[in-house]
Amino acid sequence: MATAKEMRDLSVEELRRRAAELRENLFNLRIKHRTGALESSAILPKSRKDLARVLTVLREKEQLAVE
C-alpha cells in the first residue's frame, strides 16, 4: 500500500474507491480468519492500518475543501 504522502496526490474519488476496496478486502480477510483459511493473521492489522491511512487522507482533503 502507498504511504500517506503518496496518497495525498490522489483525488478524492480515487481515495473513496480505494477505501471501498480496502473495506471489502478486510471483510473477506475476517471471514477467512474465522473459517481458518487465512494463512497469516498478521495481514489483518496491516489491512486495518491501510484503511485508516486512506480514511485519514480522505478526511484531510474533505476538510480542506470545506474551508
Domain boundaries, the chain: 4-66
**Ranges in the chain, pLDDT < 70:** 1
- Report the predicted TM-score, pTM, of the whole model to 2 decimal places: 0.89
- Fold classified for 4-66: Helix Hairpins (1.10.287)
What per-residue confidence (pLDDT) applies to 28? 97
What pLDDT does residue 1 have?
65
Given this model, what pLDDT does residue 12 score? 94
Rounded Cα distance between 49 and 55, Å, is 10
